[in-house]
A and B are shown apart, each in its own frame.
Chain A
Amino acid sequence: MGEVLVYVDHVDGAVRKPTLELLTLARRIGEPVAVFLGPGAEGAAAALAEYGAVKVLAADAPEFAEYLVVPKVDALEQAAKAVEPVAVLVPSSAEGKEIAARLAVRLGSGIITDAVDLEAGAEGPVATQSVFAAAFTTKSRVSHGTPVITVKPNSAAPEAAPAAGTVEQLSVSFSEAATGTKVVSRSPRESTGRPELTEAAIVVSGGRGVNGAENFSIIENLADSLGAAVGASRAAVDAGWYPHTNQVGQTGKSVSPQLYVAAGISGAIQHRAGMQTSKTIVAVNKDPEAPIFDLVDYGVVGDLFEVVPALTEEIKARKG
């Protein structure tokens, strides 16, 4: 079986969950070889090995943090030339997609982005995508070069499958383009203590009906009672009630959690595009005609200012 390069997404050496999902999917098409860039490979290797990485190719250099995207493309390109993989898988983050795209140009390969599932096929890996605001499902494959595929978070449940996970140093020589875009400064986002929106098993979102930034605490309290991430519709974000990083929809994040709770969200196409692949959808809205009710498994027609706080109390009581 051929080797599959898996690009590791991590925060200061802590491997993020989408990478474990990628390792799980990679095993369907070959032997996963992880590529870890930046400091902390030795510490991360255990987790990567547990989920099936036979090898961890590691490189650390200041360029990875000081310049945008291209140094990582250089590293991944050199890893691909050394390994000659049957496919390269990259998490579908904003940066991940840009790394994958430039890599594909260099390898002379086609690229598929935002896959939600991956399986082995007679002519190479077949990727499932959810398109046209999730109204259609497509199956596609790369027909030229080494398939480069980015995969969305929550596309597979990570399954442990211990492998060697031997760390090998990858020596990287940087291209002239590597230092083209300087990262002059970086301000890390303050952690809310809640799960990452795209990775969360449960998402609770508020929309226009929340009617003010000060009322978003109602949404946050429900989210916290469920251990959920908080999302917001474009209307709520455009009104300045909640940060854009939490926007769910066509121009924000696309999420696919086990449970999606929509409060005060009418369910315009812009929003549906980002959440309608969720496994279970529930909604609270005072308008019985709101299109969100066409999507729900369970809907409550009612005032969110009464239903949501009462639901939060009910959940807390049940959880004891």
Chain B
Amino acid sequence: MSLRIVVCVKYVPDATGDRHFAEDLTTDREAVDGLLSELDEYAVEQALQIADAADDAEVTVLTVGPEDAKDALRKALSMGADKAVHVEDDALHGTDVMGTSLVLAKAVEETGYDLVVCGMASTDGTMGVLPAILAERLGVPQVTLLSEVAVADGKVTGRRDGDAASEQLEASLPAVVSVTDQSGEARYPSFKGIMAAKKKKVESLDLSDLGIDEEQVGLAGAWTKVEEAAPRPPRTAGTIVTDEGEGAKQLAEYLAAQKFI
């Protein structure tokens, strides 16, 4: 039977842009161009490698987001994913991680899956908790923050490199995995891949398709509330000296004056 892999990806404001909050204190998605979150490219890459190693596999890429989020799906399709699912609904504006994970869980179930692959975190919210929450909601094992991953004989195995130790993990499918930026460089879409992606199917779903009430999502349905957001005050300009043989001494004097030495 075919191995059904679903990759969850996020369309985010470019992290190198000048990101801001909108008036309702949600992430401003207008001022800065959006793209497929860089960390999710690693998830797409590992999903494609797992699919290549399997006898028969299908990779579906899934996102929850506004109309423009289709760009993220197109990128993943041009890398080689087989098809895409886009959950789009005006009521989703301002949804927090609890609501997003609820929508993803329903969409993953609706799509059918043996393995869900996620990135380690988004580059906008940067929480890094969605894969664990998704596993909790789906009631399947989480095998997360992997720098190496493989699927064989109905099991997923991988290496999780933590601060205190490196762990070898194993779980039975179905399961949710997340991969880090150490898992292997993501491929660039080829011209052929970009052309092929235009013909691939992008299925659109809304909340009613997934049986989710509007009250469970959106800004009003969020279980957290941002009360204030302010730009960090610019750091006061420091002293810059050019080393002409005395640079180290000058720096040492500064550090001593600040009581670091």
Contacts and interface: CB of A to CB of B under 8 A. Distances in A.
A180 B143 CA distance: 9
Contacts of A97: 127-129, 132
B133 A315 contact: no
Interface stretch (A28-36, A42-50, A184-192): A184-192
A91 B222 CA distance: 23
Interface stretch (B80-88, B110-118, B198-206, B250-258): B250-258
A137 B232 contact: yes
Interface in B94-149: 96-98, 101, 120, 123-124, 126-130, 132-133, 135-137, 139-145, 147
A180 B223 contact: no
A252 to B, nearest CB: 9
B167 A102 contact: no
If over half of A's interface residues share one DSSP class (helix, strand or loop), that class is named, otherwise mixed; here it is mixed
Contact of B231 (A135, A284, A313): A135
B18 to A, nearest CB: 8
20 contacts: A94-B162, A130-B232, A134-B232, A136-B19, A136-B231, A137-B231, A138-B229, A142-B223, A143-B225, A177-B139, A177-B141, A181-B141, A197-B163, A281-B235, A284-B251, A297-B235, A299-B239, A300-B242, A314-B249, A315-B255
Contacts of A105: 98, 101, 133, 136-137
A310 B253 CA distance: 13
Interface string B188-232: 000000000000000000000000000000000011111111111
A161 interface: no
B33 interface: no
Interface stretch (B1-9, B49-57, B71-79, B168-176): B168-176
A293 interface: yes
Contact of A318 (B123, B126, B226, B252): B252
Given A69-B132, A105-B137, A144-B223, A318 B261 contact: yes
A133 B121 CA distance: 14
B35 to A, nearest CB: 14
B232 A98 contact: no
Contacts of B144: 68-69, 98
A251 interface: yes
Interface residues of B, number: 82
A76 interface: no
A111 B250 contact: no
Given A105-B137, A182-B171, A137 B229 contact: yes
Nearest to A113: B127
A133 B15 contact: yes
Contacts of B160: 68
Contacts of A284: 247, 251
A308 B252 CA distance: 10
B243 A306 contact: yes
A94 B117 CA distance: 18
Contact of B261 (A132, A145, A198, A315): A315
Given A136-B232, A139-B228, A282-B254, A298 B140 contact: no
Interface string B36-77: 000100000000000000000000000000000000000000
B43 to A, nearest CB: 13
Given A69-B142, A301-B241, A185 B167 contact: yes
Nearest to B254: A298
A106 B251 CA distance: 52
A141 B224 contact: yes
Nearest to A282: B251
A105 B170 CA distance: 24
Contacts of A250: 15, 123, 126
Given A180-B140, A181-B171, A182-B169, A288 B242 contact: yes
B21 A136 contact: yes
A218 interface: no
B141 to A, nearest CB: 3
Given A126-B227, A297-B239, A315-B255, A110 B96 contact: yes
Given A307-B251, A314-B252, A315-B255, 14 more contacts: A105-B133, A132-B19, A135-B19, A136-B229, A140-B227, A142-B225, A183-B167, A186-B165, A187-B167, A189-B164, A251-B181, A301-B241, A307-B243, A311-B252
A209 B165 CA distance: 29
Contact of B98 (A104, A135, A270, A295): A104
Contacts of A183: 167-169
A164 B258 CA distance: 38
Nearest to A188: B165
A111 B182 contact: no
Contacts of B18: 135
A114 interface: yes
A185 B136 contact: no
